Amino acid sequence: MSVDPIVLFFLLGVGARLLRSDLRLPEAMYEGLSIFLLITIGLKGGVELAAHPLGPLLPQAGGVIAMGLALPLIAYPVLRGIGRLGRPDAASIAAHYGSVSMVTFAVALAWLADRKVPHEQYMPLFVVLLEVPGIIVGILIAKLGAGRGVHWGDLAREVFLGRSVVLLAGGLVIGWASGPHALEPQAKLFFDLFKGVLALFMLEMGLVAAGRIRELRRTGVFLLGFGTLMPIVFATLGILVGRTVGLSAGGSMLLGTLAGSASYIAAPAAMRIAVPEANPSLSLAAALGVTFPFNVIVGIPLYATIATRLFGPPI
């Protein structure tokens, strides 16, 4: 069987960086591609939302948000107890794993589409809902636990109006308000090119993920274990939550992937400002250097298998 080109692009980036090639994507291109992906995922979800009555989604949304609040509370004691990390670092890493990775979600989406597995098309709504709660809980752990105040105004702007939330949620609303027909003239850019852009973006992700691997030597073996086992636990939890709130097997697998993914865009930005005493290298090495590659290569097929086992019908 042929290998998924999306994974190959990622590996090309990893290889180029490990061999110390001078290959790098210009930063504007990286930003442009990520803007494109965020909007497109939003639009896709929004177009589908338009076809659904919103009422029945509310309980699902509530369950998903509750899960987002719970995840960092599970991760934190593990990081303190087993990882022996200080409060700021443990809280920061918990926030990263409580939030989500939009690219991991996109890869899972493409993976399901290639295999024609049905799933709720409005899943992007949950990406938006899951991005913020984990970060807020992580900050609360760091601040309140340390008996320190929080600038709630600044913080809210940082997390709710961060680039990725605005683009995802903006795309959702535009897709929802326009509907598929009005968006047709834009479809050739946003929808037709999505998987090609994702492949290019994975090249960049490979370059930056490999750049983080060096740091792992310094941070030791704990983060390696945490970055691979915690996602499996979280993903399983996500799949169970999906099942509980009534998602299909495909949708539950996607929710599991979200739960098992770690944020490396929104969370690092917010935590650096809110908890500057945490070492940003630790959390980024784990989220980007371990968990992202793990999910892309091992996790996604694994979570599909888990979902299949739990649901019965094979994905």
Partner 1 sequence: MLPVHPRKVVVIITESALEPQLVKDVRRLGAQGYTIADVRGGGKHGDRDNDWERDRNIRMEVVCDEPTADAIARHMRETHAPHWAMTILLGDIGVLRPEKF
Give residues in contact with a second copy (CB under 8 A): 2-5, 8-9, 12, 15-16, 19-23, 25-29, 31-32, 35-36, 39, 110, 113-114, 157-158, 161-163, 166-167, 170, 173-174, 177-179, 181-183, 185-190, 192-193, 195-197, 199-200, 203
Task: Please compute Rg for the chain using Cα positions.
Answer: 18
Count interface residues toward partner 1 (CB under 8 A): 18
Smallest gap from Cβ 277 to partner 1, in A, equals 5
Smallest gap from Cβ 280 to a second copy, in A, equals 17
Residue 206 near partner 1 by CB under 8 A? no
* Comparison of 164 and 236: residue with beta carbon closer to partner 1: 164
* Comparison of 183 and 300: residue with beta carbon closer to a second copy: 183
Residue selected from 144, 277, 305, 309 as contacting partner 1 according to rule CB under 8 A: 277
284 binds, among partner 1, a second copy, none (CB under 5 to 8 A by kind): partner 1
Cβ-in-10-Å burial (0-12, 13-18, 19+) of 147 comes to exposed
* Comparison of 3 and 221: residue with beta carbon closer to a second copy: 3
Smallest gap from Cβ 248 to partner 1, in A, equals 35
* Comparison of 242 and 289: residue with beta carbon closer to partner 1: 289
With contacts defined by CB under 8 A, name the span among 52-60, 167-175, 252-260, 264-272 that binds partner 1.
264-272
* Comparison of 175 and 211: residue with beta carbon closer to partner 1: 211
Question: Applying CB under 8 A, which residues contact partner 1?
Answer: 24, 27, 30-31, 207-208, 211, 265, 268-269, 272-273, 276-277, 280-281, 284, 288
